[in-house]
Structure 1
Amino acid sequence: MAAPLCRLYLITPPRLDDLAGFARALAGALEVGDVAALQIRLKDVPDDVVAAAVAGLTPVCHARDVAVILNDRPDLAARLGCDGVHVGQSDACYADARRAVGPDRMVGVTCHDSRHLAMEAAEAGADYVAFGAFFPTTTKDAPTRADPEILTIWQETMQTPSVAIGGITPQNARGLAAAGADFLAISAGVWAHPQGPAAAVAALEAEIAAGVAERPA
């Protein structure tokens, strides 16, 4: 999932009570921006609900060259044919996740505000490392607060792509893009945007472009 500059990485809301309606909103959002991946992150739901979400959203994503990443569950990611899995520090370890999904699917790892954790994940073979939270977020409990400097240091010293996550909106995305994030992972900042998801993605694209332009030559 390497990126030349900075791209969007969307995350679903924690519940999808109207899967068909969300699929339409997702399609509209994907049409207006450069989105690299959609992470399906559904909390406290049965496996069959996750499977239905994967089945309903994967065609929307794949038709637009967007990867489908499943949160937390390497076993389900492999069984459902997802493009990858994202694991947190309290979920399956990288090695177990890699064994479950095989060599050809992506494995991303949450590293909070720790370059040490990120270096361990990168050296083990993670396809990307995720830092955060950078801003207050209501989407999930965020045990750490990361400084944008970690993105700059990471970009200057490591090859493994970095994902910035946590409370990102069109109003604060520019600084993270300027700091060196390869991807901005966003949930409520898109789906709860007052003008709708497509407007949010369009605004984010403009802010990302402005931020990338601010990076040192």
Structure 2
Amino acid sequence: MTDCQLYLISPLDVSGTFPERLERALDAGKGVVTAFQFRVKGLDQHEAARLAEPLQAICAARDVAFIVNDDVALAKRIGAAGVHLGQGDGDPREAREDLGREAQIGVTCHDSRHLALEAGEAGADYVAFGAFFPSKTKETSHRAEIELLQWWSEMVELPSVAIGGITPANCAPLIKAGADFLAVSGAIWSGDEVAAVKAFVEQIGEA
């Protein structure tokens, strides 16, 4: 059994019945889903905080880390577990100053060992590599090789997150290569979230 875990990323629309879907997904992946990233675009902070509130409560009740995408100010405002920074979203050191020692800070490193090592030196808690596969959720200009995960897991203690087009059908090589987390969005929310989470859990169990 590997210690690989699931890191769910929200769809851009988290209104309507999404809180119920999140509950079902987290319950289906109990013990394997350990983080949830709140990723909404183009909303003001007040509206984003309002949408985050019920989702944050659902995560807190299940001991799942609630991470905010790209927005340190929002993460601080709502007391999120941490923030995930893209390459253009600020410095992990500044985020650490704003959010405190306990915050989980992740950094997107695309397909670059150099960026990942830099992020580690800047105090990131995890690095995200990808995209490993074509993604329908996000336009990707970087393509990472599975060897990168293997190299990272052998050389560096910092956890790695694999992202980009990951499905139950293609995730096994990433798990075997040493990814600590699989970040998934489209594969979960584009269909039956319970079946999708269970299929991932099965793959993780078999790897």
TM category (shorter chain) comes to over 0.9
Measured in 1, the distance between the counterparts of 2:179 and 2:120 equals 15
Contact 2:15 2:51 in 1 (8 A): no
Partner SS, residue 15 of structure 1 = coil
1:183 aligns with 2:181: yes
The correspondence of residues 86-165 of structure 1 with structure 2, limited to 5 A, is: 86-165=84-163
Contact 2:9 2:39 in 1 (8 A): yes
Partner SS, residue 60 of structure 1 = helix
The correspondence of residues 60-79 of structure 1 with structure 2, limited to 5 A, is: 60-79=58-77
> Please, which of 1, 8, 16 is the counterpart of residue 14 of structure 2?
16
Contact 2:168 2:203 in 1 (8 A): yes
The correspondence of residues 26-105 of structure 1 with structure 2, limited to 5 A, is: 26-33=22-29, 34-105=32-103
Question: Root-mean-square deviation (CA), in Å?
Answer: 1.1
Task: Report how many aligned residue pairs link the two structures.
Answer: 204
Give CA deviations for 1:161-192 in whole Å, capped at 9, x if unaligned.
00000011111111111111000000011001
Shift of 1:124: 1.8
Give CA deviations for 1:126-158 in whole Å, capped at 9, x if unaligned.
100000000111211212000111111100010
Measured in 1, the distance between the counterparts of 2:13 and 2:24 equals 19
Give CA deviations for 1:66-87 in whole Å, capped at 9, x if unaligned.
0000000111101111000000
Measured in 2, the distance between the counterparts of 1:171 and 1:45 equals 34
Contact 1:134 1:164 in 2 (8 A): yes
Write the letter of the residue equivalent to 1:180: G
Larger mean CA deviation between 97-106 and 64-73 belongs to 97-106
Measured in 2, the distance between the counterparts of 1:155 and 1:73 equals 28
Shift of 1:17: 3.4
Contact 1:15 1:43 in 2 (8 A): no
Shift of 1:198: 0.8
1:209 aligns with 2:205: yes
Give CA deviations for 1:2-50 in whole Å, capped at 9, x if unaligned.
xx710000000012231xx111111111112111100000011221221
Write the letter of the residue equivalent to 1:201: V
- Segments of 5+ residues of structure 1 without an aligned counterpart are 212-217
Partner SS, residue 69 of structure 1 = strand
Write the letter of the residue equivalent to 2:125: D
Shift of 1:104: 1.3
- Segments of 5+ residues of structure 2 without an aligned counterpart are none
Measured in 1, the distance between the counterparts of 2:47 and 2:36 equals 17
